[in-house]
Amino acid sequence: MPSYPSLNLFIGGDWMKAKDGLPVVNPADESVIGQVPVATRAQLDLALTAAAEGFRVWSRTSPAKRAAVILKAAALMRERIDEIAFSITLEHGKPYQQARLEVIRGCEFFEWDAAEGQRAYGRVIPSEPGIRYVVLHQPIGMVAAFSPWNFPMSQPARKIAGALAAGCSIIIKASEETPAGALHIARAFQDAGLPAGVLNLVFGIPSEISSYLIPQAQTRLIAFTGSTAVGKHLTELASRHMKPVLMELGGHAPVIVCDDVDPVAAAKVSAVRKARNAGQVCTSPTRFFVQEAIYERFLDAFVAQARTVRVGDGMDPATEMGPLANHRRIDALEALVADARAKGARIHTGGERLGNRGYFFPLTVVSDLPDDARAMHEEPFGPLALINPVSSVEEAIGKANALPFGLAAYAFTHSARNADMLADGIEAGTLSINTLEASVAETPFGGVKDSGYGREGGAEGLAHYMVVKNVSHRMTI
Ligand code: NAD
């Protein structure tokens, strides 16, 4: 059986210890499984120096050679899938099979971006004779990146893939609560022969690291995934130093269920999807707006499916939904359910912590919530499904757009007219119809409104990691 790795910083191509440690907790039994090092100021300075040299070397490496290193690292991660998935389940709690899928997804991000990095074409602008206008796309420089705990491997993968494929160097501060996912990535790149300093991995006190790295002259892009509140804070800090940002923030995904579909089939896939990662996904389907004609049948089928979800330790092959990743989520969910109940909503199943050891919380279904219920406008970031009736698709679109969030949105319909109205009217970065998959490596992903700024993945994903330079060249003076 694999073991949980010892946790170190990765700076300038070397693994480094740090004096202080923060405990890493297994959310299934609350045992301490490791100590994550806290980088000192001197170690951050070392990372900055290393990243400057890493950028000098990597930005001058041909895109084909860069792609070869990234693909080799991805191949190593695929070979090590069991070991990486084991670490993820231990530190995050998700079922082992879901952890394996996360590793595959992370590898797909690397593989897609490695190929895209070779197609970062500029252009030649038609001009009068004697002068050439050439538009170059060049790597932006060193990236300061911050990744969260909900996908310990695929979240840092997205940012490292974008930076490295574009020819940038990166200092990434991955989550202190789930550090091993990023550590396995760094190990694979070290073994794949990535030049020293191109990828640097640090941990510590998040606010101290971000406030130190962002103002540095060599930091040219701030890439963050996490809550809207922290994203706004980092964007303010970045704006004081005129740094561009890439912000993937919170969501509160609406699901519009039209009355031309089979409500039982739509409810079953929705409940299964809601349980993925215990709902701790920024694209998790959350606010269900169901047309009245099929409302009760959809609700009954959803509740019946939710009651079948087996909650337990992610290492148990029978488990379908693991514990929540930390105690904060339990507190947040219990508060949202209590508020909904007090405001007259119906709690059909779940709603309370399971047991008192491990952060287990069942798939919870709440219906008929008033608009002022907190859960209807605060992102639950957990296994909470909110189901309400609507009289028309137009009304559902209005409710879907009523929040400041606009990340993922979903709909079930076989009507071309409904689909067209939804595609035009929904305010979100992605709309998925008859599927609850919001993003894959080849499609652009990101939000509008408070859900963030910029796109990762797809042909658009590398744009933030590059600058556009126009070269005007007259043949004679
Ligand atoms: P939080 O707001 O305390 O932290 C969110 C993330 O930001 C964490 O990874 C944290 O380490 C990091 N962070 C916090 N302050 C920072 C700073 N000053 N500089 C740099 N990084 C900083 O919330 P939390 O309890 O960890 O997570 C709960 C909320 O976060 C959820 O409600 C959800 O909205 C959001 N979240 C979103 C995603 C996503 O994929 N968009 C992922 C994880 C969490």
Dump pLDDT digits (tens) for 368-406. 999 999 999 999 999 999 999 999 999 999 999 999 999
Q: Residue 89: its pLDDT value, please? A: 98
Give domain limits for the chain.
9-249+450-471, 254-440
The two structure tokens encoding residue 272 = 């299964």
In whole angstroms, give the CA distance from residue 199 to residue 113. 16
Structure confidence by residue, pLDDT tens digits, 270-291: 999 999 999 999 999 999 999 9
Q: Name the CATH code of domain 254-440 (choices 3.40.50.10360, 2.30.30.30, 1.10.8.60, 3.40.309.10).
A: 3.40.309.10
Atom from ligand 1 closest to the CA of residue 326: 25
Structure confidence by residue, pLDDT tens digits, 91-117: 999 999 999 999 999 999 999 999 999
In whole angstroms, give the CA distance from residue 234 to residue 222. 8
Report the percentage of the chain scoring pLDDT > 90.
99
The catalytic residues are 248, 282
Q: Is the CB of 34 under 6 A from ligand 1?
A: no
CB atoms under 10 Å from CB of 436, counted, come to 20
Query: What is the whole-number distance in angstroms between the Cα of residue 68 and the centre of ligand 1?
Result: 33
The pLDDT of residue 196 is above 80: yes
The pLDDT of residue 20 is above 80: no
Q: Residue 40: its pLDDT value, please? A: 95
Query: What is the whole-number distance in angstroms between the Cα of residue 206 and the centre of ligand 1?
Result: 10
Q: Residue 18: its pLDDT value, please? A: 87
Task: Give the pLDDT band of residue 308 (cuts 50, 70, 90).
Answer: very high
Q: Residue 19: its pLDDT value, please? A: 78
Torsion angle in degrees (nearest 10) through CA of 13, 15, 20, 21: 110
Q: Residue 54: its pLDDT value, please? A: 98
**Mutational test site, ligand 1, from 230, 284, 330, 448, max ligand atoms within 8 Å of CB:** 230
Q: Residue 158: its pLDDT value, please? A: 98
**CATH code of the domain made up of 9-249+450-471:** 3.40.605.10
Task: Give the pLDDT band of residue 21 (cuts 50, 70, 90).
Answer: confident
Q: Matching CATH topology for 9-249+450-471 and 254-440?
A: no
The pLDDT of residue 260 is above 90: yes
The pLDDT of residue 1 is above 90: no
Structure confidence by residue, pLDDT tens digits, 412-433: 999 999 999 999 999 999 999 9
Query: What is the whole-number distance in angstroms between the Cα of residue 314 and the centre of ligand 1?
Result: 23
